[in-house]
Every structure is written in C-alpha cells, then in structure tokens.
Structure 1
Amino acid sequence: MNQDQLKQRIAEIMDENKTGVLSTVENHQSYARYMTFVYKDMTLYTPTNKETYKTEEIENNKNVHVLLGYQGEGFGDEYVEVTGNAEIRDDKNLIEELWFDDLDNWFDGKEDPKLVFLEIKPESIRLMNGKGEPPQTLDL
C-alpha cells in the first residue's frame, strides 16, 4: 500500500470509529479511557471537561497514545494507533466548529466554561493488523 492509499485507509477508519482509547501518563503510571474523537487533517480532537484528571495529566505530560478501530472480529480487524502530543484548547471558534449534539449530554451547550477539546498532534500514525501485514506507518 502506498502512502496515499495508507492515508485514505487511516482516514476511513477514523471516520468509521469515533470512539477510541486515549492513554496518558502521570507519575510513571499509564491511564486509559474511552473518548469520542473527531479529526481534521490527521489531527485528532476529543471533548472533555477541563476539570478532569486527564487534563491535569496532559498539563504535566503532553505525550498521549490513541487507539481507534478494531471491531473485535480478530485477525485482519484493522485499527489505527496514534502517538502524539496533546494540547488543551478552549478556543471558542474551535469549539463551535467541532461541537456535535451528543455533547449536550455532558455540557450545558457550546458556551459551557468547562468544555475544552484536547488537540492531539500526531508524531506517528500506524495502521495495524492489516490481514497479516506488518504495521504500516504514515509519513507525516
């Protein structure tokens, strides 16, 4: 698979799988939690409350790891592995752009002062478990 095909396949997996696992590190201990992701130009975004442990962990250590995909079918069930750096973003224009209606379950609208998005800039994106193929890394 060439780089254009790889990028397209990664984008398809990101489009089809909005729920993934975000891992952070605090005091040499890893923490993982399910999050909802959206992406633009291979940058991932996930909404969260700015008063959570994960935001504190990211303030102390910006290194994160994300898994998206894998449907539990086993062999050949592709998924995407993203290693990157996270930033906490409370930019109102970004919140307006990325807002989706399900967020009403956790926040009091787009103006909720606790709403932030984590912006994950990838250092590495790999397509994993491609029907017996070795992992393939997207050139960034």
Structure 2
Amino acid sequence: MELRDKILDVMGGVNISAFATVQNEQHPVPRVRYVATIGFPDLSMKIATHKSSVKMSHIKNNPKGCIATWNGKDFEDVDKPYVIMDTEIEILDDEKSKNEFWDPMLENYFSGPDDPEYVIMDLKPYSIEYYSEGKMEKLTSI
C-alpha cells in the first residue's frame, strides 16, 4: 500500500484528533485540545469551531497547527497506526462552505449553518508523519 493510502486510511472520514495551536512567537506554548475532524482524499482535514474560541485567536496570530489522529477505538488498539500532520489553517466563514459542511450532529454546538459563531477550519498539511509498528514514514510532497 502506498504511503498516501496508508495515511488516508488513518485520517480519512470522521475521527477524534488532538489539535495543537500556538498563540504567537512571543508566547510559544502549545495548547492542545481534542476535536472532531473530517479527513478528505486530498489529505486535508476540516474542523467546525466557534469563532470566539481560544484556538481562533491563536490562528489569527499564527495560522499553523499540528494534529495527531489515530484510528483505534480503545486501549486494545494501542498498536494501530497514527499520523501527525503539520498544517496551514484557513478559516472558512462563507455561506457556501458552511452549508456544505453542515451536519445535524453540529446542532449540539450551533443553532444552524447560519449561526454567527459557526466557522470551519480547513487544515492543509505540508508535512505528514505516519507511525506504525515502531516505524515512521514521512510525506512532504502533498
């Protein structure tokens, strides 16, 4: 299996991922939180978030992030592959993007696709590390 396919097998579709941002160069402490992600065949990921969240203030100052995704479900899956992606982040706040990404599961967090707090983070990787069986493979031409 090609490396891109192995990566997509881990991060494609809906996952729970650990996502880190950094406020700015003067305060370079990472802040990590769990987020629901959707991974796409081009190896990008999207995350719905609140416009007023701490991560959004970080992204305005530093539009880069790091995300780690594992496709295991519980501790018995500890040896399953995982990926770590360094990404550029674009904020999508237009009506078309918000409507296309909208899912009823988001109703727990937003009143609808026209909720002014609802925005989408579009994560475009520039480096991906794939870990499996104690070995790492790196993809840099994405």
Q: TM-score, normalised by structure 1?
A: 0.88
Q: 2:51 — aligned with what?
A: 50
Q: Does 1:83 align with 2:80?
A: no
CA–CA distance in structure 2, aligned partners of residues 79 and 46 of structure 1: 18
* Cα drift, residue 39 of structure 1: 2.6
Runs of 4+ in structure 1 off by over 6 angstroms are none
Alignment of 1:114-129 (within 5 A): 114-128=117-131
Q: 1:28 — aligned with what?
A: 28
Q: 1:9 — aligned with what?
A: 6
State which of 95, 99, 102 in structure 1 corresponds to 2:98. Answer: 95
Q: 2:133 — aligned with what?
A: 131
* Cα drift, residue 16 of structure 1: 5.7
Amino acid at match of 2:124: K
Where does the alignment leave 5 or more consecutive residues of structure 2 unmatched?
none
CA–CA distance in structure 2, aligned partners of residues 70 and 115 of structure 1: 27
3-state SS of the aligned residue for 1:96?
helix
Where does the alignment leave 5 or more consecutive residues of structure 1 unmatched?
none
CA–CA distance in structure 2, aligned partners of residues 46 and 38 of structure 1: 7
Q: TM-score, normalised by structure 2?
A: 0.86
CA–CA distance in structure 2, aligned partners of residues 70 and 111 of structure 1: 32
Verify the 8 A CA contact 1:18 1:38 in the aligned structure 2.
yes
* Cα drift, residue 17 of structure 1: 5.2
Superposed CA RMSD in Å reads: 1.6
**1:80-101 deviations in whole A, cap 9, x for unaligned?**
1100111221022111221121
